[in-house]
Structure 1
Amino acid sequence: MNDPIAPPALRPVRGAAHCAVAAFALSGATWLVRALWQLRLAASGVPAAGPPDQGDGRHRPLTALEDSYHLVSRLGDAATALCVIAFLAWLLNARDNARTLSGKPPRYALPWVYVGWIVPVANLWVPRGIVADIHRRCAPGERLPRAVNWWWGLWLAGTLSGVGLMYTGSTDQVIARTYTDVPMLLVADAAVIGAAAAGIFVVRALTAAQQRHINGSAGNDTTTGTTD
């Protein structure tokens, strides 16, 4: 499970943290817009022609509102992808710094930073374990921030609900669900938005803990140098 190579040099983490926070905020905002569009679709009711997907490979022309939802959905998907990239970039920097500061290899090997999110069963705990391991090595003896559990619980709710982040149906199928089952869609949206908000606190908390450790290490090095 552990990396056999030598620990890397300390990396700047604040810039990556700012990018991750901004990406979380953008992703949460786009999912909020998506939820508002779903409410608009539900309020408009099913068109007389029925749902967009007519079955047997037939699709009717979209209404203006349905067409705009396609655009909102694409923007939300793009923002989510950007959030994933920014978060993983921060996570890798924080993981490497935690290894250097603690002098111990991470609990999970590097590939798990990526595949831990998609491997069935393992994805129920591995990503949270990576984050918790970073905090444990950067802030030994300190309690894990509550935001980590909120973030992970909401993430699981948003991915395992069947209508959230991992929903594999088409946008037209989502539109059809807004006409018949919008409450479940809104619950999944709320979970994703909550996970994005909690993710901001996770990044800020772990970055602050790591920065304190880095500053403390630098202070100790300076003191040692002066004494010598």
Structure 2
Amino acid sequence: DAAREAGVVGVPTEMVHLLGELKFRTSYGQNVLKHSVEMAQLAGMIAEEIGADVRISKTAALLHDVGKAVTHRIEGKHHHIGAALARKYGMDERIAHAIEAHHDDIEATTPEAIIVRVCDAMSGTRPGARNVSSENFAERMKDLENIAASFDGIDKAYAISAGREIRVMVSPEKIDDLSSVKLARDIANKIESTMQYPGTIKVNVIRETRAIEYAK
């Protein structure tokens, strides 16, 4: 029983059943249930160290990906779905918020929510946690570059830092400074809506003007 292994009690039966379904789900080669149990244990240790609520932190960490159990039948992002389920079954709002805020589109406003977000990053990025084949890795890098290159005014786009950053070179004649800011936001939005990826991806738009003269 995952909840018992994680040291979490008082979880509604409906949520326990959904949690169990994560045993059969993987994300980037990492078993989602195992990842969730590991996160709960880590969140409990961090919460105890900094004086945050241990029960809230562990429970939210254990259930942070529970929405993935129903994404095939409920439309939406898994962390939004998970938070909605927590509220539906009467769980503490601090748990619902921490589930909802473990990705960057919702601001984490409580210590427990911040702990869950940090633990998710730590568990997912430790060596060997996720098994991404070289073929999938290359495909992801190419997808990032293609998304950036699909916008007007792009000279070149490079995916770097193992796909955690996309560096976009723009034509200074076509893209001004203000447009560069909007372009970065538009590329980030398109990546969010069309790709699945762990962690965050930095979009770095570079507009470079060079003036060259020769002294004779």
TM-score, with length taken from structure 1 = 0.26
Highest relative contact order (Cα 8 Å, sep 6+), 1 or 2? 1
Structure ranking higher in strand proportion? 2
Query: Quick check: which one's helix share is greater?
Result: 1
